[in-house]
Structures are given as structure tokens and as C-alpha cells.
Amino acid sequence: MAEQQRRQRPAPKERVEETEELPASTERGEKLKGELDDLLDEIDEVLEENAEDFVKSYVQKGGE
Amino acid sequence: MAVPKVCGTETEYGVVLRGAPDPNPVLASSVLINSYVEQRKVGWDFDDESPGRDARGYAREGTQAPEIETHLVNTVLTNGARYYVDHAHPEYSTPECADALELVLADKAGERVLARSMQAASRVLEPGQSIVVYKNNSDGKGNSYGCHENYLVDRAVPFATLVRHLLPWFATRQVFTGAGKVGSENGAAPVPYQISQRADFFEEEVGLETTLKRPIVNTRDEPHADPQLYRRLHVIAGDANLCEVATFLKVGATAVILAMIEDDFIDAASGTRKEWSLAGPVAAMRTVSHDPTCRATIELADGSRMTAVELQWEFLRLAQKYADETGLAACGESVGDEVLSRWESVLSALERDPRSLDGQLDWVTKLGLLEAYLERDALSWDDPKLSLLDLQYHDVRPERSLYERLVRAGKVERLVDEADVRNAITEPPGSTRAYFRGTCLARWPESVVAANWDSLILDIGGDPLKRIPMMEPLRGTRAHVGPLFDTVNTPAELVARLTS
């Protein structure tokens, strides 16, 4: 799977080769990052609790 | 000439009854729909239904109209849609639409109907219980349910011709129709994430089944229209989309392909038949779906290899030529042009950087969300939280839907106005016979005894029930019967005018 390299900081365990960024895009990147963080915080609020049990209990009958 | 591409979607929603000791999905679906239908229910007339009829020209042994199970809810709405319990799911079949943009509106209105149904159901359920529905296609445990499309197609086109062109079409259009899924199922090779919810479930190239050994091209032959003139192609190889751009392109581009097939444009224009046939369409479904980089190649019958996007470019170039030479009247002229332009921009983006389609395509939008969590919380792909995010992306409750959160954050492109969506919850499209069906239901709910796609049964008092055939999907439009509705006050007058 392709790594997403532009919007994100490199994940701790992964080396991303292209690390140079132009200053302007860093600024824009920070702003986007801030927006994304806010959005994730907002999503945290509505996420169902206990992910493992919740996902496990979602069982459907085949349809069509 | 290609026949107008009257089209619709039929979406089975995942359903959960929470807080009940022994949740029954059939019951939950029934409660959901019953709660929504506040006005008198109009029953569905099964007389013309024959889901066992095969487009290849034979009927399955023992096939007959399904038994009407009285406990199963089956209703018609004033917007012309059918809303019913199918197997163990609530299913919403949109009214017939004249083009892809109308269908985006009708499909989105369906989501709102389900959302309202959940609210309505909460008022009748026991305290502590709730019904939740998901617009997705898989439970992640090997059980799949469909989002089908239907298209009006000229009966004169040999079914084998449709199959030949549609196999490579369905295998490759996944790059924009996919709704995205964490993991794989049904014996498919393990992957962290794949493009389509459905690809793992296709096991045959062509067939009548929809629940077992699913075929890429489904042969169900229920025209719901004059069978001498039309087919109604029943497509099961698609995902349920939330992104309006994805629905628009899925339906719009497929309509253009079908118009080209009807006009014999593909074969005549390029002699491409040989190059475009896939060596293994079933394997290709998975190969394409399992590669979110969109770089994997699939083998063609002549031994060459292409990526799905490259094959899509071939289809698009032909479609552009077709539009120049023939026009796109069958797909709604201006909407057809919008489809081609969107199709081109999406393919360009897929080639350059699929991630740039975040906010247009479901699989990319979901992947963006998952990767943001992967990074922030340092998760691995097998963390259940990612499966939860995957599932909850499709939650239809506006306050819980992660897709809806992204819309509200301005991260998703919309093609229709919410005011128009609200209107489409109750109003039929004016462009097809759904207008006649929906208007009769809205005006005389007490008199409509039963309805289905191609007829309406009215009780006008005294006489035997009156069955009004609607075999032509483009008759009964607002332009056609709007003036008539303006001049009649009762269903009896309507029948008198129609039969005079």
C-alpha cells in the first residue's frame, strides 16, 4: 500500500524518504494538521465505545 | 438509437436492534419501516414479479412470484420509492430516475428516509432498545448484502453482448465505485485495506444468483416494462456509496457504457473486443479491489496486461468519441457531459495520486480517515478501532455517521442541495412514471390498493378494482400527466379520463 507522504508526519516506526518541505507548504500543512486533529477529536466524541465488542457484535444475514 | 437510461438503485441496509435479548433482524426491519409509514400502507402488487426469470432466455424450474408473506412489510412511498423488508434487511428502491444526477438525489433521499425511520422507531421500541442501520455491504465476517443498480436497456441487444462488455467494465469501475473496507473476507487473500466492500464476494462471471456464488453480471430478467422492448439490467457488482460523486459516476458512466453498447459503438469504433476481454474477470475483481495504489495490472484475454485505470481510460476515450458523434441524449444531454468531465478528472487523479480524491470517492475518503487515526493513535491495521471507524463511516444516523461528520467539516464534495434532498423524501421525480405512482399515492392514499413498478391498482368504489398499466417508464411524467392531475378531483375521474 502506498504511503501517504504529504499530509502527515512520518509515523514513528516508518521512515519516509521525502522529508524536505517548502516553508509555505509547512505552514499550510500545520494548518491542515490542526484542522484534522480537531476533526478527529470531534469524531472521538461520537465513536461507539468498546470497539472490539462493538465490531464483533455486528453480524448480518447475507442479503439480496 | 440507445433507449433513455432510466435508472435506479436498490439498497439493502445493514440493521441492528440494540438492547434486545434476542434481536431479530427481520422484525427490526419491519418495525423500522412500519414506524416510518405513518399514512395508510399501500401494498406491493407481486403479479408481475418473476425474479427467477433469466435474461439468457429461460426460467428456473419452479420459479414463481414470491409468496406474499403478510408479516413482511412492503410499501410504496409518495416519492415513488419502494421501501420493504428483503430477507433480513430494510431495502430502499429509489423511484425510477431519468439521469444520474436525479438518482444521486433519490439515493440520498433514501438515506434520509432510513434516518427518519430510526427516529420514528425509537418512539415505539421498548425503553433501552434502538434500531441502527448502516449503508454498507458487509459485516466483515463473510456476510454481504447488496446495493443494486438497474438500467433500462434495449431488448434488441443480445445479452451475450452486454456480458462481454460489462465484465471488464464492472471489474475496473471499482476504482471509483468502491466504498472501502478494512481487511478481506470470503477466503480472499489478507489485505489491510481494499477498495471495494463487495469484490471478495464475486465467484462467477454470469448467473442468476444474488446470494450464493454471486456473479459479476446478474441475469435477472424482470423488465418491469414492456418486455418486447426493454430489459432492466440488474447490476449487483457495486458498492453502496455515500459520496455523491461516487454514486454519480457509478451510475452515470455505466449509463453511457450501456448506451454505447446499444448503439453498437464499442465494437464498431475500435474492434476492441479482443483486447478488452479479461483473462479472468473474477480474479480481476479482487486484484483491482485489493490494490489501493491503483497500479496493479490485470491480464487481458490476449495475454497483455493493463491497470484498471488504463482500461478505464480506454472506455472514457470511446465515450468521448461517442458523445461527439452521437450525443448523450440517452443519458440526459447535459448530465451526460458532466459525467464525462467528472470521469476524466477522476481518472487523471487516480493516475496521479488517488489520495487527491479524498472527499469525492468513498474508498479514498475512508482511507484518509483511517490513516489519520493510524498515525495519531499509533495503531496497527488489525486494531479493532479501525474496523469500528470503517463500520461507523456508514452509520446512517446523522449524529453518529462519520461520513456525515466529514461532510459537516466541509471535507466532502456534494452535488445536490440538501433542500432538494428533503423534497425528494416525499416528492417523486417528474421525469418518469414514478411521478404518476407517487402523485396518486399522495393524493388518494385510501384508493390505491396496490402498486408496483409497472402498474397501479385503484379502488374507485362500486366497480371492480381498476388496474392501470404503466409499461412505459417514460410515460406518466409530470409533463405527461401533470395537466391531467390538475383537472381531476377523484381517482374515479382519473380512471375515466385515462380510459376515455
Query: Could B375 and A8 be called an inter-chain contact, meaning their C-beta atoms sit closer than 8 Å?
Result: yes
Start-to-end Cα distance in chain A: 32
* Per-window interface: B 44-103 vs A, CB < 8 A: 86-89, 91
C-alpha cell at B112: 434520509
Cα(B327)–Cα(B261) distance, integer angstroms:
14
Contacts of B383 in chain A (CB under 8 A): 51
Per the DSSP assignment, residues forming a β-bridge with B9 are B149
Query: Could A64 and B385 be called an inter-chain contact, meaning their C-beta atoms sit closer than 8 Å?
Result: no
Cα(B82)–Cα(B60) distance, integer angstroms:
25
C-alpha cell at B197: 466492500
Please name the helix (run of DSSP H) or strand (run of DSSP E) that holds residue B233, with its range, or none: strand B230-235
Cα(B146)–Cα(B14) distance, integer angstroms:
10
Q: Measured between CB atoms, does B146 come within 8 Å of chain A? A: yes
Per the DSSP assignment, residues forming a β-bridge with B97 are B7
Regions of chain B with pLDDT less than 70: 38-54, 56-72, 270-275
Q: What is the pLDDT of residue B46?
A: 63
B445 DSSP 8-state letter: T
Query: Could B143 and A47 be called an inter-chain contact, meaning their C-beta atoms sit closer than 8 Å?
Result: no
**Among partner residues A46, A54, A63, which is closest to B88 by beta-carbon distance?**
A63
Asked if the model's pLDDT at residue A2 lies above 60, the reply is: no
**Span A13-45, pLDDT tens digits:** 444 444 444 555 677 778 878 888 999 999 999
Task: Specify the amino acid at residue B128.
Answer: G
Cα(B221)–Cα(B173) distance, integer angstroms:
23
Instruction: Give DSSP secondary structure letters for B48-97.
Output: T--TTBBTTS-B-TT--PPP--TTS-EEE-TTS-EEEEETTEEEEEPPPB
Q: What is the pLDDT of residue B45?
A: 67
C-alpha cell at B305: 496486461
Please name the helix (run of DSSP H) or strand (run of DSSP E) that holds residue B150, with its range, or none: strand B147-154
**Do the Cβ atoms of B208 and B196 come closer than 8 Å?**
no
Q: For residue B146, what is the nearest residue in chain A, using CA coordinates? A: A64
Cα(B379)–Cα(B386) distance, integer angstroms:
8
Cα(A18)–Cα(A20) distance, integer angstroms:
6
SS3 percent helix, strand, coil of chain B, rounded to 5, is 40, 20, 40
Q: Measured between CB atoms, does B400 come within 8 Å of chain A? A: yes
Query: Could B87 and A43 be called an inter-chain contact, meaning their C-beta atoms sit closer than 8 Å?
Result: no
Contacts of A40 in chain B (CB under 8 A): 372-373, 376
Start-to-end Cα distance in chain B: 32
Minimum distance, in Å, between the CA of residue B293 and any CA atom of chain A: 6
Q: Measured between CB atoms, does B192 come within 8 Å of chain A? A: yes
Q: What is the pLDDT of residue B210?
A: 81
Which of B22, B47, B86, B302 is catalytic? The answer is B86
Which residue carries 470517492 as its cell?
Answer: B361
Query: Could B139 and A40 be called an inter-chain contact, meaning their C-beta atoms sit closer than 8 Å?
Result: no
C-alpha cell at B208: 442468476
Backbone angles phi, psi at B436, to 5 degrees: -65, -45
Classified as helix, coil or strand, B420 is: helix
Per the DSSP assignment, residues forming a β-bridge with B59 are B53
State how far the alpha carbon of B412 is from the alpha carbons of B23, B162, B347, B356, B496, in Å: 35, 34, 18, 12, 50
Q: Measured between CB atoms, does B12 come within 8 Å of chain A? A: yes
State how far the alpha carbon of B165 is from the alpha carbons of B141, B171, B207, B357, in Å: 32, 11, 15, 27
**Among partner residues A1, A51, A63, which is closest to B89 by beta-carbon distance?**
A63
Classified as helix, coil or strand, B379 is: coil
Query: Could A64 and B293 be called an inter-chain contact, meaning their C-beta atoms sit closer than 8 Å?
Result: no
C-alpha cell at B438: 407517487
Cα(B323)–Cα(B309) distance, integer angstroms:
20
In chain B, % of residues over pLDDT 70: 92
CB atoms within 10 A of CB A38: 11
C-alpha cell at B286: 479482487
C-alpha cell at B15: 440493521
Cα(B423)–Cα(B204) distance, integer angstroms:
40
Q: What is the pLDDT of residue A62?
A: 78
Q: Are strands B202-207 and B214-218 parallel, antiparallel or unpaired?
A: parallel
Please state the ipTM of this predicted complex: 0.89
Q: Measured between CB atoms, does B489 come within 8 Å of chain A? A: no
* Per-window interface: B 278-307 vs A, CB < 8 A: 292-293
Cα(B269)–Cα(B352) distance, integer angstroms:
28
Cα(B365)–Cα(B180) distance, integer angstroms:
9
* Per-window interface: B 342-381 vs A, CB < 8 A: 354-355, 368-369, 371-376, 378
Task: Specify the amino acid at residue B163.
Answer: V
Minimum distance, in Å, between the CA of residue A16 and any CA atom of chain B: 13
**Do the Cβ atoms of A27 and B394 come closer than 8 Å?**
no
Which residue carries 521512515 as its cell?
Answer: A15
* Per-window interface: A 7-36 vs B, CB < 8 A: 8-9, 11-12, 35-36
Query: Could B372 and A36 be called an inter-chain contact, meaning their C-beta atoms sit closer than 8 Å?
Result: yes
Contacts of A52 in chain B (CB under 8 A): 384
Cα(B201)–Cα(B189) distance, integer angstroms:
12
Q: What is the pLDDT of residue B47?
A: 63
